[in-house]
Amino acid sequence: YDDTFYVLNAFEELDSPGEWYLNRATNKVYYYPRAGEDVNQAGAYVPTVETLVNVAGSSPSAKASAIAFDGITFEHGNWLMPRDRFIGGTQAEAQYADDPFKDPNHDGYGGEVPGQIKLTNARDITFTDNTVRKMGSGGLQLLTGAEDVTVTGNLFHNLTAAGVIAGRWMDVHVNGAQRTKNVTISNNVVTDTGDDFFPATGISLMNTYNVAVTHNLVYDTAYSGFHQRKAEETSLLDGVDGIGKTTFSHNEVYNATSKTSWGVHDSGAVYSFGSWPGSVISHNYVHHSTSTANYYSDNQSHQTRWDYNVGKDGRFDFSPRYRKPLSVYASHNYTDFADNWLNGAIYDGDGPPHVVTDGAWPAEARTIMNQAGLEPAYAGLRRKVPRENLADHSTLSQRSAWDSGLGKLWDGVTETGEASSNVNESWVQFDLGADYERFAFTIQQDNCCTWMSTHWKVQRWSAGQNAWIDIMPYQAINTAAPVVYRPSANVATTNIRLYVRNSNQNGKVGVQEFNATGVRK
């Protein structure tokens, strides 16, 4: 592609609140403060440690064992390699080799993006109720010989790479004691990965055996929500010492390919590459993906099942590049995307994915949606995720007429075009899940022709009056710079609506960014 380069750490790009620049020659940091921020009171972290915890047994036959991590916050680990060498070409957490043309697997990869908590030759490990955040690399990493590991009830957020990375890229022909295997990853929240590393996923598997990924909530990831990739593409390694038997079920995944707008392509919210015999992808709910593929069965797929999955705003992609003879099976899948790629699967139940129109999801599909994601005992994890913008995918509930680019309204960048509508007035509603107060609302748009909105307002729902009430009445917008409104009187609400209008003749609505901040009451 022609748009696969971008520039980091250029002084000329220091033009927005929250950005910083390091002059390596003078060791001076320049910072652009956020609105209302007192830089004399602000804190800064400059981490140099690249591994926060390293658990390693002495050999595959003498493993570290019976260790529990519970209720710990891990933060501020770094990854210095991108400072020193090229990392472009990396796909997911499979890292580009030093010399990709000498890679013995002939695929250009030579290792993995590192995690901050590493397990090597370790067994009977539990990782529960922890928070892993603010990392310059990945979170928990299960390396050679890690087995019988349980990862449950954790929060992974604000990471450069995946929350959980299991397996090693070069561990193709290892014996059973060296294989990363028998792993349970359940009821975790993984979000906000890859802001500065566009190949990042949420949960990433490489050359593993018997890994169960169930009831997780994965969202706002750069490249994929769930990604499994086998090295040595054309080989088949089955059996208990082999690769495969992944269970990916009852997960909710959304906005999982968020860097598509930056030129990151060939991705899927749920993605499988290579032969993973015995794997089952079932009862998952994928929505609001920015890639066209919600579910992607790619090259050399073999002996896998894709059943009882729901995808909104994206297709099922069963690639014709499967391992022959065809042994990819699918049934009871649902989508509202008409253009699905279907040549790479056998439909042995009720036929190809059912295409739903006008939101008329059948009862079976709605049951799948409702049962995907965190189980009730872990629902509180959602509320632990810091919210910089209350108005995003997770709170969107209703809307009027918008095109498919509505997600650009909250993607955090102004280079990707506008969320637009072909009518002269549109609204979008956000249900915040609890009462918030002390609001501030920010809107920004292009200074462009008929698409430029001329007015905006914000409403709140009043249960007492059973009506929508203006927090701010319609106000004019006459600039492409961010416009901020803070209500003069403090109000508390659980529901807000943004209205935008274009009063020009034949005017249409366009908005680049909308941001709502507030304090939970």
DSSP notation for 46-111: ----S-SEEEE-SBTTB-EEEEEEES-EEE-----HHHHS--TT-BTTEEEPSSGGG-TTSSSEEE
For residues 354 and 207, membership in a common domain is answered with yes
| Domain assignment of residue 463, yes or no | yes
Q: What are phi and psi of 468, to 5 degrees?
A: -90, 130
Contacts of 53 (CB under 8 A, 6+ apart): 69, 74, 116, 117, 118
Tokens of 153: 């009830």
| Domain assignment of residue 191, yes or no | yes
CATH at 169: 2.160.20
| Helix, coil or strand: residue 148 | strand
Alpha carbon of residue 332 to chain centroid: 25
| Helix, coil or strand: residue 228 | strand
For residues 319 and 222, membership in a common domain is answered with yes
pLDDT of amino acid 102: 67
pLDDT of amino acid 484: 85
pLDDT of amino acid 518: 85
For residues 130 and 255, membership in a common domain is answered with yes
pLDDT of amino acid 35: 67
Full strand arrangement of the beta sheet holding 247-249: 64-70, 122-128, 147-152, 181-186, 209-214, 247-249, 279-282, 304-307, 328-331, 346-347
For residues 71 and 5, membership in a common domain is answered with no
For residues 307 and 366, membership in a common domain is answered with yes
Alpha carbon of residue 106 to chain centroid: 29
| Domain assignment of residue 489, yes or no | yes
Q: How many domains does the chain have?
A: 3
- Give the whole-angstrom CA distance, residue 208 versus residue 117: 18
CATH at 511: 2.60.120.260
| Helix, coil or strand: residue 156 | strand
Out of 332, 348, 379, pick the residue that ends a domain: 379
| Domain assignment of residue 398, yes or no | yes
For residues 7 and 110, membership in a common domain is answered with no
pLDDT of amino acid 509: 85
pLDDT of amino acid 449: 61
Residues, the chain: 521
Decide if 495 contacts 429 (C-beta within 8 A): yes
pLDDT of amino acid 1: 45
DSSP 115: E
Tokens of 517: 């901040």
| Domain assignment of residue 449, yes or no | yes
Tokens of 74: 């891990």
For residues 290 and 394, membership in a common domain is answered with no
Residue 405's domain comprises 389-520
For residues 304 and 217, membership in a common domain is answered with yes
Alpha carbon of residue 295 to chain centroid: 14
For residues 56 and 40, membership in a common domain is answered with no
pLDDT of amino acid 89: 74
For residues 303 and 421, membership in a common domain is answered with no
For residues 422 and 362, membership in a common domain is answered with no
Of 455, 422, 454, 451, the closest CA to residue 510 belongs to 451
For residues 110 and 188, membership in a common domain is answered with yes
Successive 10-residue mean pLDDT values, the chain, 521 residues: 69 86 94 81 89 98 98 96 82 83 67 96 98 97 98 97 96 94 98 91 97 96 95 81 94 89 82 96 89 91 97 94 96 96 95 94 97 96 83 86 80 70 91 88 76 88 93 88 83 94 85 86 78
| Domain assignment of residue 9, yes or no | yes
Decide if 106 contacts 130 (C-beta within 8 A): no
Decide if 334 contacts 309 (C-beta within 8 A): yes
Tokens of 32: 């652009």
Helix (H) or strand (E) holding 183: strand 181-186
| Domain assignment of residue 384, yes or no | no
pLDDT of amino acid 103: 60
Tokens of 92: 């997911």
| Domain assignment of residue 211, yes or no | yes
Out of 44, 61, 76, pick the residue that ends a domain: 44
Three-state SS across 176-237? CCCCCEEEEEECCEEEEECCCCCCCCCEEEECCEEEEEECCEEEEECCCCEEEECCCCCCCC
- Give the whole-angstrom CA distance, residue 237 versus residue 173: 8
* Amino acid, single-letter form, for residue 438: R
Of 176, 115, 104, the closest CA to residue 147 belongs to 176
Out of 379, 398, 416, pick the residue that ends a domain: 379
